Amino acid sequence: MRFSIRLGTVRDLFVIGEMWKDMITEKDPSANPNVDWWCDIAAENMARNGQYVMVVAENGDGTIAGFADMKFELDPIASRIMLAVNQMYVRPEYRNRGLGWDIVNTIMTMALSKGVSGVVAMTNIPDTWKKHGLKVMGTVIGMNVTDWVKRVKGSRRNQG
């Protein structure tokens, strides 16, 4: 099956939003992501001066099989442009065909053409990136906000 990689548009957001929901619930089946909220935020970001960009992988019949969204940012300390890949997802039925790597290659080509000096991405699958020569440069820690609120509320009850 042949795929084309192209820039995402506002018209793609509903389909991408559903994929975003799938991505979240694949990691946490109990999650209830708000697709409308995500689509609104993405549309607002896309309307701004080109800093926020989506890339989609589309098969021959127009089905979007994967996406990545990213933001070009100025690193104020180093005075250089960086590209932060926010998320990337390929539908399960299209995995293990090199499609994710095609998306990454498109991102890197785009970054190079815009004079970007570095690309960063948070990932829960670092080995996938490392096998293609990318380096893990640090660790990001975090917690689901809902879990944090439960934890804080629980610790307050125990204190008083």
pLDDT at residue 12, as a whole number: 94
Domain ranges of the chain: 3-159
**Domain 3-159: top CATH class:** alpha beta
Instruction: Say what the pLDDT of residue 159 is.
Output: 55
- pLDDT at residue 93, rounded to an integer: 94
**pLDDT value of residue 91:** 95
pLDDT tens for the chain, 160 residues long, are 789 999 999 999 999 999 999 999 998 899 999 999 999 999 998 888 678 889 999 998 999 999 998 888 887 776 778 888 888 899 999 999 889 889 888 888 888 888 887 777 777 777 777 777 777 776 655 655 666 666 666 655 555 5
Q: Using CB atoms within 10 A of its CB, is residue 35 exposed (0-12), middle (13-18) or buried (19+)?
A: middle
Spatial neighbors of 2 by CB under 8 A, at least 6 apart, are 59, 60
Tokens of 90: 């390929």
Query: What is the pLDDT, as a whole number, of residue 146?
Result: 63
